[in-house]
Chain A
Amino acid sequence: MTVIGWLQIIFFCVIILALAKPLGWYMTRVFNGERTFLSPVLRPVETGLYWISGVDEKREQHWLTYTVSMLLFHVGGFLIIYGLMRLQAVLPFNPAGQSAVAEDLSFNTAISFITNTNWQNYGGESTLSYLVQMVGLTHQNFLSAATGIVLALALIRGFARASVRTVGNFWVDVTRCTLYVLLPICIIYTLFLVWDGIPQTLGAYVEATTLEGAKQTIAVGPVASQVAIKMLGTNGGGFFNANAAHPFENPTALSNFVQMISIFALGAALTNVFGRMVGNQRQGWAILAVMGVLFLAGVAITYWAEASGTSTLQALGLTGGNMEGKEVRFGIVASSLFAVITTAASCGAVNAMHDSFTALGGMIPLINIQLGEIIVGGVGAGMYGMLLFVVLAIFVAGLMVGRTPEYVGKKIEAREVKMAMLAILVLPLMILGWTAVAVVLPSAVASMANAGPHGFSEALYAYTSQTGNNGSAFAGLTGNTLFYNVTGGVSMFVGRFFMIVPAMAIAGSLAEKKSIPPSMGTFPTTGGLFVGLVVGVILIMGGLTFFPALALGPIVEHLAMNAGQVF
């Protein structure tokens, strides 16, 4: 670890903190339906969309209607992606002549993109036409991100409102989020990325003759417009197989830095939106502090592990850390930082190959996802995930002193705690259940690229990433098999929707409750004690659930590595 490395990390954190408040202010205005500086241009488009789709923007929905609207929207999204992938060979914008994608891979990919996972069992440049990349994937990057944000919003409204039966209008929220937040930022962001070197063209792949006379086919495409939303919307699905390690998706140290910021920007700002909506911004800062503590701990461990290198490298006298699978322009620190950010949020873009990380360096991304990606988290998903843990932490605190727990003026009762537990328990069921199946099926074991405990980690990472809707991978695993495509698709579906529905039920039940003013006996939820309590609950829940599996994978591998063992 170096001083300049830590300065890069600190600089990153400062910018995220500085952005949270202004972005939070703007997003609050958008979701409260107020005028913004973009309204003169966008308001006519917005009202036009309501008119053709028959949406009454004044009519609010019950939480159940809100959830059903969201589900209907996703069914449509699934059909569009699946259809385009199966038919791409006969559709336009296919200069590379890609053929139709198989049923199981199309199924897995369609679920992957509607759930904001962007798990990729395919290599983009060798599998998909430009049409699928744009209409299938770029559009769903917007809509799945918008969906995540508005669901968090509905839950926040549940806390902020009192004695009402509605939580907002799904159609209005999704439209406003897409038009006023995601699209304007992406337009400017795309132009910046092209200026920095990312291609944006519909032209065919380029045939080059290298300096030494060899032939090189260079894949290009409408890359920048997709990279912008994949980062901002924490989707993470790369245009190319190597994702953000590819020089065309992440050409410079500057593009890398801006991409890292754009992964966290909206998620961090949502804590501020929460604070504003419940009437006390310090409530938002307290939640961001919980995220910050867990984040910095993860960064420190991964950076230390990667900078230390592996025993194989050390034995050969190679100093400078573990550069296998990393790019020179990012080096150890920006690769480690990116890995922690992308898994803390549910982004899943990678600028270095996680499979080649050291055992402990690769364990932190795993843990980040297993904790539910609540450290800033996927846009929206991180916020509602974190609020579920807050509900639990408040409940535990209430048990300790024998009082009915309250949070931001709302009583937390049996229904909320049950729903929060239901949402949280879905993760281990899918992650540990399918990993257990994969390691006893010989055909599934054959997909693992590495032997020994690292192979186990590959399968564990695959189900962790898909259930957590992250999308990053220990990419050595050959995931494009019938078994992994189908079980992974199920994991992504359950991991997304079985968390959303209980969260929405909490939103509905909270909105109906009366708001009670704080009294002498109310547990203050803006201070260090609260932050410590929530961090503790998250680590204990995660530790109890996943420690045994981690012990079989990364921890055993670390011990084996120190003993000089290879597999």
Chain B
Amino acid sequence: MLREIRPAIVLLVALTVITGLAYPLAMTGIAGVLFPSQAQGSLIVKDGKVIGSALIGQEFRDDRYFHGRLSATVAPDPNDSTKTVSAPYNAANSGGSNLGPTSKALADRLNEDVDKLKADNPGQPVPLDLVTTSGSGLDPHISPEAAQFQVQRVAKARSMPEETLRQIVAANTEGRLLGLIGEPRVNVLALNLALDRAAK
């Protein structure tokens, strides 16, 4: 058995260097050359400033913008580091609500949000994805139905014709891959950027 100690140490160190250092560092170098934008996080730069990532959702509260999904991410409480406070779309601490199907907290939240959306948009069915939190808290997408649902509000806030907005939503809707894989979706940040461009 003693003869197994040398390979245990030497092979472990050698394979650690290969898989733990050489592999990720080489991949970082190659990816940086081949796909520099993606490797950095698909950042969107506007007027020389980073305004976000094309893949990471951000919070929209203004009536003039389309809103994304609810986010359950948190941040450390500045007053008490053992506690956390709600911080939607915190891209440095991803996570979901983890509320279960029989959670009273979840039922109360759903009731409140559905009532509010119904009051603001009478007569329209409330889209499921607008009242549920995403798994990552950073979901960049909403369903096409959830985008259409908000057209009326955004049109009013921006004094733009609804028809123009519906066209912008349609132009920013992605379908299923090969017509089969994934779900139809709208990237909220891309949609709002398109909206700002159209409004100019």
* A292 interfacial by beta-carbon distance below 8 Å: no
| Complex interface bits, A309-335 against B, C-beta within 8 A gives 1, otherwise 0 | 010110011111111111111110011
Q: Which residues 3-41 in B have Cβ within 8 Å of A in the complex?
A: 3-12, 14-16, 18-21, 23-25, 27-28, 30-32, 34-35, 38-41
Give the CA-CA distance A475 to B95 in the complex, in Å.
9
Q: Which residues 54-92 in B have Cβ within 8 Å of A in the complex?
A: 54-62, 65, 69, 89-92
Q: Which residues 323-353 in A have Cβ within 8 Å of B in the complex?
A: 323-331, 334-335, 350-353
* A454 interfacial by beta-carbon distance below 8 Å: yes
A327: chain B residues within 8 A (beta carbon): 134-136, 139, 141
Q: A126-B93, A210-B52, A219-B92 are in contact. Are A325 and B65 (CB under 8 A)?
A: no
Q: Which of A194, A240, A353 makes the CB contact (< 8 A) with B98?
A: A353
B196: chain A residues within 8 A (beta carbon): 211
Q: Which of A4, A247, A256 makes the CB contact (< 8 A) with B56?
A: A247
Q: Which of B20, B30, B133 makes the CB contact (< 8 A) with A191?
A: B30
* A37 interfacial by beta-carbon distance below 8 Å: no
Pick the interface stretch among A20-28, A432-440, A445-453, A496-504: A445-453
CB closest residue in chain B, given A68: B1
Q: A200-B39, A218-B53, A323-B128 are in contact. Are A175 and B15 (CB under 8 A)?
A: yes
Contact, CB under 8 Å: A55 / B107: no
Give the CA-CA distance A11 to B181 in the complex, in Å.
9
Q: How many residues of B contact A (CB 8 A)?
A: 99
Give the CA-CA distance A175 to B27 in the complex, in Å.
21
Contact, CB under 8 Å: A211 / B192: yes
CB closest residue in chain B, given A563: B102
* B126 interfacial by beta-carbon distance below 8 Å: yes
* A138 interfacial by beta-carbon distance below 8 Å: yes
Contact, CB under 8 Å: B136 / A246: yes
B177: chain A residues within 8 A (beta carbon): 252-254, 257
Contact, CB under 8 Å: A318 / B114: yes
CB closest residue in chain A, given B60: A212
Q: A76-B12, A175-B15 are in contact. Are A355 and B99 (CB under 8 A)?
A: yes
Give the CA-CA distance A214 to B68 in the complex, in Å.
15
Contact, CB under 8 Å: A218 / B183: no
Q: A318-B114, A321-B128 are in contact. Are A452 and B133 (CB under 8 A)?
A: no
* B104 interfacial by beta-carbon distance below 8 Å: yes
CB closest residue in chain A, given B89: A216
Pick the interface stretch among A46-54, A155-163, A410-418, A519-527: A46-54
* B103 interfacial by beta-carbon distance below 8 Å: yes
A321: chain B residues within 8 A (beta carbon): 128
**Distance from A1 Cβ to chain B, minimum over Cβ atoms (Å):** 14
Contact, CB under 8 Å: B135 / A350: yes
**Distance from A481 Cβ to chain B, minimum over Cβ atoms (Å):** 12
**Distance from A443 Cβ to chain B, minimum over Cβ atoms (Å):** 15
User: Could you say which of B31, B35, B101 has the most chain A C-beta atoms within 10 Å of its C-beta?
Assistant: B101
**Distance from A314 Cβ to chain B, minimum over Cβ atoms (Å):** 11
Give the CA-CA distance A324 to B62 in the complex, in Å.
24
Contact, CB under 8 Å: A171 / B98: no
Give the CA-CA distance A454 to B99 in the complex, in Å.
9
B181: chain A residues within 8 A (beta carbon): 8, 11, 253-254, 256-257, 334
Contact, CB under 8 Å: A201 / B32: yes
* A202 interfacial by beta-carbon distance below 8 Å: yes
* A518 interfacial by beta-carbon distance below 8 Å: no
Contact, CB under 8 Å: A245 / B136: yes
* B167 interfacial by beta-carbon distance below 8 Å: no
Pick the interface stretch among A102-110, A182-190, A263-271, A507-515: A182-190
**Distance from A241 Cβ to chain B, minimum over Cβ atoms (Å):** 5
Contact, CB under 8 Å: A73 / B12: yes
Q: Which residues 381-415 in A have Cβ within 8 Å of B in the complex?
A: none
Q: A138-B24, A196-B38, A248-B56 are in contact. Are A326 and B132 (CB under 8 A)?
A: yes
B95: chain A residues within 8 A (beta carbon): 123, 241-242, 475
**Distance from B21 Cβ to chain A, minimum over Cβ atoms (Å):** 6
Give the CA-CA distance A445 to B7 in the complex, in Å.
45
Contact, CB under 8 Å: B125 / A328: no
**Distance from A230 Cβ to chain B, minimum over Cβ atoms (Å):** 12
* A537 interfacial by beta-carbon distance below 8 Å: no
Contact, CB under 8 Å: A190 / B31: yes
* A470 interfacial by beta-carbon distance below 8 Å: no
* B198 interfacial by beta-carbon distance below 8 Å: no
Give the CA-CA distance A461 to B29 in the complex, in Å.
40
* A167 interfacial by beta-carbon distance below 8 Å: no
A210: chain B residues within 8 A (beta carbon): 51-52, 58-59
* A77 interfacial by beta-carbon distance below 8 Å: yes
* B182 interfacial by beta-carbon distance below 8 Å: yes
Contact, CB under 8 Å: B101 / A125: no
User: Could you say which of B3, B4, B104 has the most chain A C-beta atoms within 10 Å of its C-beta?
Assistant: B4
Q: List 19 A-B contacts (CB under 8 A).
A: A52-B10, A72-B4, A139-B19, A139-B20, A142-B19, A191-B30, A206-B50, A211-B189, A217-B92, A224-B39, A247-B140, A253-B183, A312-B107, A320-B128, A328-B129, A328-B141, A330-B183, A450-B103, A565-B102
B interface vs A, CB < 8 Å?
1, 3-12, 14-16, 18-21, 23-25, 27-28, 30-32, 34-35, 38-43, 49-62, 65, 69, 89-104, 106-107, 110-111, 114, 125-126, 128-129, 131-143, 176-177, 180-183, 185, 189, 192-193, 196
A interface vs B, CB < 8 Å?
4, 7-8, 11, 49, 52-55, 65, 68-69, 72-73, 75-77, 80, 123, 125-126, 134-136, 138-139, 142-143, 171, 174-175, 178, 183, 186-187, 190-191, 194-203, 205-212, 214, 216-220, 222, 224-226, 229, 240-242, 245-248, 251-254, 256-257, 310, 312-313, 316-331, 334-335, 350-353, 355-359, 362, 449-454, 457, 474-476, 557, 560-561, 565-567
Having A139-B20, A197-B38, A313-B128, one finds 16 other A-B pairs with CB under 8 Å, namely: A49-B14, A69-B4, A77-B12, A125-B92, A139-B15, A143-B16, A191-B27, A202-B28, A208-B53, A209-B49, A212-B59, A242-B136, A248-B56, A253-B181, A353-B135, A355-B100
